[in-house]
Amino acid sequence: MTDTETMLGTAVRTARTLTDAGIPFALAGGWAFYARGGPPSEHDVDVYVKPVDVAATVSALEGAGMQPAPSPDRDDWIAKLTDGPVSVDVIYRPGRRAVDEQLLARADRLRLGPGSAPVIAATDLLIDKLMVLDHDRLDFTAMLRIARELRHQIDWRRVRAETSGSPYAQAFLGLVDDLGISDGEPEADRRAAATDHLIATLRRALAEDPRTAELGVRISVYRDTIVLNGEVSSLDQRTLIEEVVGETVPASKLHNGIRICVLDTPADTEELG
């Protein structure tokens, strides 16, 4: 099995390559789940692009050193490459729909390793997982995990509307209803869960970013404002922490209450009696 660091490196390299090439895209699949707060992916790196951009996407990734790979027999939905031991799937028709500007516009730019990438909406992530279900693929394990961990990010009404033609999707939605995963929490619980997710995302960003690697900052949320507290040894550290938070959750209100604590060296040696 390929290690997490190698796979994350491929995901980051793919995102940077397509960003530099000016190709609209969104991270999908297991690494989209990871960027939204799930565990590291153990699967391929999936990216969504519009059908018109497939050739340019493959060319850009080959220019970054990736190699073309055989696609499935029915290859009207995917192009495959490899980056060393990691498979990169360029998907342009997930489920039963083509990637379009509206789907890409719903993506959020989220933290991904030392950088960031557009990541498909949690609602779209679940819809596309549901729409590939058929009598040969009825394992709900991965989708239950997505539904549980991202339930507060999912628009359940849109999921129901856009999967209404699939009896397999309806069976899954009945299951998550019975388990109390979908639409069952009071509003106060939803807000609390969303706040917990935001704080966990920021903690991970500060810990992973090489500019900070900061584990001692206290993060809280008061109404709609992110509040930072703690102590650092320099103004530069304080500023970098603020920058990482701003990049992780752009356009959020922020109060930086981190103090600068400089440890003075004693001028005189204390005499021990």
pLDDT tens sequence for the chain (273 residues): 568 889 999 999 999 999 999 999 999 999 999 999 888 777 799 999 999 999 999 999 999 999 999 877 666 889 999 999 999 999 999 877 899 999 999 999 998 888 889 999 999 999 999 998 888 888 888 889 999 889 888 999 999 999 998 999 999 999 998 888 886 555 556 677 778 888 888 888 888 888 887 667 888 888 788 988 888 888 888 899 999 998 888 877 888 888 887 655 555 555 444
Domain ranges, residue 215: 187-260
Is residue 138 a part of any domain in this protein?
A: yes
Same-domain pairing of 211 and 171: no
Same-domain pairing of 90 and 217: no
State the pLDDT at residue 267: 53
Same-domain pairing of 123 and 208: no
User: Alpha carbon of 112 to those of 53, 115, 162, 178, 216: distances in Å?
Assistant: 23, 5, 28, 34, 21
Same-domain pairing of 82 and 209: no
Q: Helices marked H in the chain — which ranges?
A: 4-21, 29-35, 54-63, 101-105, 122-130, 141-149, 156-162, 167-178, 187-208, 235-248
State the pLDDT at residue 214: 67
Same-domain pairing of 22 and 126: yes
Is residue 267 a part of any domain in this protein?
A: no
Same-domain pairing of 39 and 162: yes
State the pLDDT at residue 180: 85
Tally of domains in the chain: 2
CATH number of residue 238's parent domain: 3.30.1340
Same-domain pairing of 250 and 128: no
- Three-state secondary structure call for residue 181: coil
Is residue 205 a part of any domain in this protein?
A: yes
Residue showing tokens 């596309």: 128
Q: Which of the listed residues 147, 178, 209 is the one where a domain comes to its end?
A: 178
Q: Which of the listed residues 161, 178, 195 is the one where a domain comes to its end?
A: 178
- Three-state secondary structure call for residue 228: strand
Same-domain pairing of 142 and 225: no
Same-domain pairing of 162 and 195: no
Is residue 10 a part of any domain in this protein?
A: yes
Is residue 266 a part of any domain in this protein?
A: no
Same-domain pairing of 148 and 192: no
Is residue 269 a part of any domain in this protein?
A: no
CATH number of residue 58's parent domain: 3.30.460.40
State the pLDDT at residue 2: 67
CA distance 181 to 194: 15
Is residue 24 a part of any domain in this protein?
A: yes
Is residue 194 a part of any domain in this protein?
A: yes
Q: Which of the listed residues 139, 157, 178 is the one where a domain comes to its end?
A: 178
